[in-house]
A and B are shown apart, each in its own frame.
Chain A
Amino acid sequence: MPMIKRDEIPPGTLYLLILKTLSLHGPLHGYEMANSIQQSSENILQVEEGSLYPALQRMLIKGWVTAEWGVTAGNRRARYYKLTAAGRKQLQTELSQFGRVFGAINRVIQMA
């Protein structure tokens, strides 16, 4: 059992991670998304994998993503999520917001 210590993702950034992942890799199903986030963060960020799904539902309602059933490489049925135009726009919003907040935090903690 891998015992790498992982950090929980900051609250509110799950949408951002999903949106960014989808914009990078195109349509993905949930498992691929979880893996992709972990790998891209070099196994630092820990997503409680299940929590992807409520988030995805909310994003479906907002119209940021659409879902479609497809077949995996291993020939299994899986639901693939795809970014919509609204989702792309949302990604920009979330990114700039994150940048602002992160920058602000950064400035605060560097005022030693």
Chain B
Amino acid sequence: MHFDEFVRRVTMLVRGKRFQGDLDEEMRLHRELREEHYAASGMSSQAARSAAHRSFGNAVSIREASYGAWGWNWLESLTQDVRYGARSMFRSPGLTLVALLSLALGIGANTAIFSFIDAVLLRSLPVKDPARLVVLGDGDEMGITDRYGSTTLYSYPFFRQMQQKNAVFSNLAAVYSYSMDIHGTLNGNGEMQAMKVQLVSGSYFQTLGIRTAMGRAITEDDDSSEGDHPVAVISYAWWKRALGGDTNVLGRKIKLGTSTFQIVGVTPPEFFGTRVGEAPEVWIPMSMMESIPPGLNGYKDNFAQSMHIMGRLKPDVTREKATADVNLLYQQITRAFPDVKLIPRNVESLSKTHVVLTPMTRGLSSLRRSFSAPLEVLMAATALVLLIACANIANLLLARSTARAREFAVRQALGARRIRIVRQLLTESLMLALGGGAAGIGLAAVADRLLLHMVSRGSEVLPLDVSINTRLLLFTFAVTVATAVFFGIIPAVRGTQVKLTNALKDGRGSAGGGNSRSTLGKCLIIAQVAISLVLMVGAILFVRTLVNLTKLDTGFNREGVLRLEVDSNVTGLPESDPRMVLMFQEIERRVSALPGVRAASFASFVFAQGSWNTAVNVPGMTMNEKIDVKHNTIGNGYFATMQIPLVAGRIFGPQDTATSHKVAIISERMAKELFPAGVNPIGRHYFTGYDPIPNTDVEVVGIVKDVKFGDLQEDPEYIDYIPNPQRPWGYGSFAVRFDGNFNTLSNAVQQTIHSVNRDLPISGVTTLDEQVSRTMTNQRVVAQLSTFFGLLAVFLSCIGIYGLMSYMVSRRTNEIGIRIAIGATRGNVSWLIMSDIVLLVTIGIAVGIPVSIAGSRLVANMLYGLPGTDVASLLGAVVTLMLVSTMSGYLPAHQAAHLDPTVALRRE
């Protein structure tokens, strides 16, 4: 029954035209018959017609009521509104274009930034029921590997014990704390390929609930005994890229170092591991850790803490309950290890230990920490820009709706209901917003690619999925509709609130609606100016932060140095092997001999490449195990290459061999603070570890200037340098100081390296300067984008000021004409208009200043080298804004001053 009715309604909609014709015809017949009837009863034809019309009633409204009966008039009036709106938009293409463009930019920027926030901060891991997953500890990438009471990283035997003894997890998995960039060969062909390898426990895929796209996952069987399960699961993306989507991928071989692994499975396309922004390409069972270069040992070491442990909570277990259980077991397991050292220091650490369980719904991420603050700032900036765009459009539409006041008055007088007119205005703004939203999505898609490249350090693009998804579309749609309502409702309500008689008498005169309209318009301008100021101050602060960082003294000379990485693991030899030590020395020697090369040296770390640190034991000083010294293993030419000045003592030379007595060069800060005051550290000994173990004993032979080691903003670190022959460790970062052309030299250096060993994979060829500036990526992106948004905000505000002022001038034409006629000078008139602008801008700035100050406090930890409230930045923004906005008001003021009084007066 209901359905029949619906069908009839739809049929009617489809046959709309015929329906109207039928209705008209039958009503006409009715009136004609009635007219004939009256005429037959003796009336004059004139009288008969009017009597027939009278007894029939108002044909137009009856026709409408009949039509309305079918329930489609909303659609009818909507199409009408859309058509009408489109027409009126095309009538002022300039305004429409500005409105659409500013909306597209506002919505596009919001969507683009939001897609990053979504990818980095919001999206759940693409695994089964991610809400039940937790990680033991804080999930931080950095952790302490050798200290009791560590709750971030755990040893493999600890994981096994926890897996067996706990009663709160349905499954538990261990994953190595970082994925390794390893070079290996595929399929037995000799070509070296870089791959990201992630070690996981046999329970990893089962705990996450991942079903492979092909083949099988790594299972507990693969992790049951050490060293004899050479299998690998590869990522979908890598399968496509490195193997060209080969359907016979299963059973293919990957050779890493000296071990050959068989590919047994391919993960589903959406799976990227458990760390957002990392995307491993090859997963290998933990049991094989010693077989992959550089040969990690720790499968059976109870205290080699290098793994994250993640678990899936049993359905009925709360996180509190699990936390209690885990902490109980933590003590039991740790204390029960046969090789546990329960010395007072360790007992104290253990007794203070508390393991927290961190939810892993959205995965682990180091990106999150470095990106969340910049993303939030940028999101706020884009939201403010959108607000300004909205205010602008509200102002423009407001101006237009006032200009159309007369039209609305006429329509209302003719019986159009107010709601109908409001609806029409809302339709127009919704059309604008949807148009802007659609353009914004297009813009966002482009902007996302761009942004991804901007935030990715170096040539490798971050593996983040920032494509448009449902959540994003919903977000954009919400923003768009909110925008439409925000800037559409005020003009609509106001535009129809006219006093009919006033508006009809005079569309231009000083009607009440007009004044309050200007007041509202002025408030919008003030808000725009205030917001612009906030954004400009932000932009200036971020740009100055970037400049400060760029000018910062790193302690080494970052110009004129070539950088590359050599992966020596492919040789299959341990780093301590004398042949390896010789190989590195030979490369250094040959490269140093190249024309244009001033010095060349390997090191474990050059800049921002992580660190290896331990506490040190300096005899005669109280131990502070909280103080970590960063160790760097270097070649003899390192300080010459980096141009790090020697303060005292000597640098390393050929006399420092594997068998000579152990030496170290220390940084200035270490010399000052870790050695007894007033004593020259040169010639003194210390242990490069907590415990005074003889083979860690070194003699200080030199002191060098402090350098930046991990990042630009750090305070001087405690650093010691060790010659490579005496303690090879993570060696392979190569630095070459040169004069002349980079490309020529880069080729020569690579050829020279391959002339020593043609199998060595070379990667990350760049300059030291580039490497340093990559660590400023976030600051650079924030500075660039905030500048862009700041300029956009000012630009939009200027358009707003210009629009409002032009409008006010046109409203006051008459008044200005009279003023000029009775002798006001052009200067007087200009000032009349300009004073309005200056007042508005001043109020806006006055409102903006405290907000800016509060805002700059909020972002204080993203700034560098600037005082808490930076007066110079604030002043700069105020002056710029004042200048620019006054200029945008100059044109209308100029127009007003050059009005011809006779023309102006005649217009009334």
Is the beta-carbon distance between A53 and B23 smaller than 8 angstroms? Answer: yes
8 A Cβ contacts from A29-69 to B: 29-31, 34, 48-51, 53-54, 56-58, 60-63, 69
Interface size bucket, A side? 20 to 34
User: Do A1 and B5 touch across chains, with their CB atoms under 8 A apart?
Assistant: no
> Are the CB atoms of B30 and A49 closer together than 8 Å?
yes
B4 located at the interface, meaning its Cβ lies under 8 Å from any Cβ of chain A in the complex: yes
In the assembly, what is the distance between CA of A2 and CA of B56, in Å? 15
Q: Are B57 and A48 closer than 8 Å at their CB atoms?
A: yes
Q: Give A12 Cβ to nearest chain B Cβ, in Å.
A: 16
B839 part of interface (Cβ distance < 8 Å): no
| Beta-carbon contact of A51 and B62 below 8 Å | yes
Q: Identify the interface centre among B5, B26, B41: most chain A CB within 10 Å of its CB.
A: B26
- With contact pairs A50-B59, A51-B57, A53-B66 given, residues A29 and B43 touching in the complex (Cβ less than 8 Å): no
- Interface residue A5 (Cβ < 8 Å from any Cβ of B): no
Cβ contact within 8 Å between B57 and A54: no
* Given A31-B30, A34-B30, A48-B57, A77 contacting B62 (CB threshold 8 A): no
Q: Which residue of A lies closest to B36 (CB)?
A: A74
For A14, list chain B residues within 8 Å (CB). Answer: none
Q: In the complex, are the beta carbons of B4 and A29 less than 8 A apart?
A: no
- Cross-interface CB contact of A76 among B29, B57, B62, B69, cutoff 8 Å: B29
Q: Contacts of B70 on A, CB cut-off 8 Å?
A: 57, 61
**Structural contact, A50 and B58, CB atoms closer than 8 A:** yes
Say if the beta carbon of A88 comes within 8 Å of chain B. Answer: no
Verify A61–B26 contact, CB threshold 8 A.
Answer: no
Are the C-beta atoms of B59 and A30 separated by less than 8 Å?
no
Q: Is the CB of A77 within 8 A of B57?
A: no
A63 shortest CB reach to chain B, Å: 6
| Chain A residues with CB under 8 A of B51 | 1
Point out the residues of chain A lying under 8 angstroms from B623, CB to CB: none
Bound: A37/B27 CA distance, A: 17
Contact residues on B (Cβ < 8 Å of other chain), bracket: 20 to 34
The answer on a CB contact under 8 Å between A63 and B33 is: no
Residues of B within 8 A of A50 (CB): 27, 30, 56-59, 62
Check A29/B27 contact, CB under 8 A, given A62-B5, A79-B22.
Answer: no
Could you say which residues of chain B place their CB within 8 Å of the CB of A60? 8
Closest-by-CB residue of A relative to B43 is A1
Is B55 an interface residue when CB atoms closer than 8 A count as contact?
yes
Which one of B29, B57, B62 lies within 8 Å of A31 (CB-CB)?
A: B29
A54 with B34: CB separation less than 8 A: no
Check if A31 sits within 8 Å of B5, measured CB to CB: no
Q: How far is B70's CA from A88's CA once the two chains are assembled, in angstroms?
A: 22
- A38 CA to B34 CA in the complex, in Å? 13
Question: Would you give the shortest CB distance from A19 to chain B, in whole angstroms?
Answer: 16
Q: B66 is contacted by which of A2, A54, A63, A69 (Cβ under 8 Å)? A: A54
Task: Tell me which residues from 66 to 112 in chain A have a Cβ below 8 Å from any Cβ of chain B.
Answer: 69, 76-79
Report A56 CB to chain B, min CB distance, Å: 8
A43 to chain B, nearest CB (A): 12
Q: Is the CB of A31 within 8 A of B8?
A: no
Q: Does B65 contact A (CB under 8 A)?
A: yes
> B44 to nearest A CB, angstroms?
10
Q: Given the complex, which residues of B lie within 8 Å of A34, measured CB to CB?
A: 30
Q: Which residues of B contact A63 (CB under 8 A)?
A: 1, 4-5, 8
Q: Which B residues are CB-close (under 8 A) to A54?
A: 62, 65-66, 68-69
Instruction: Confirm or deny: B25 has a beta carbon within 8 angstroms of a beta carbon on chain A.
Output: yes
- Write 14 A-B pairs (CB below 8 A) sorted by A numbering: A30-B29, A34-B30, A50-B27, A53-B23, A53-B26, A53-B62, A54-B65, A54-B66, A54-B69, A57-B66, A57-B67, A57-B70, A62-B5, A78-B29
Closest 4 CB pairs of A and B: A50-B57, A57-B69, A54-B65, A50-B62
- Besides A30-B30, A53-B23, 6 more A-B contacts (Cβ < 8 Å) are A29-B26, A49-B56, A51-B62, A53-B66, A57-B70, A61-B9
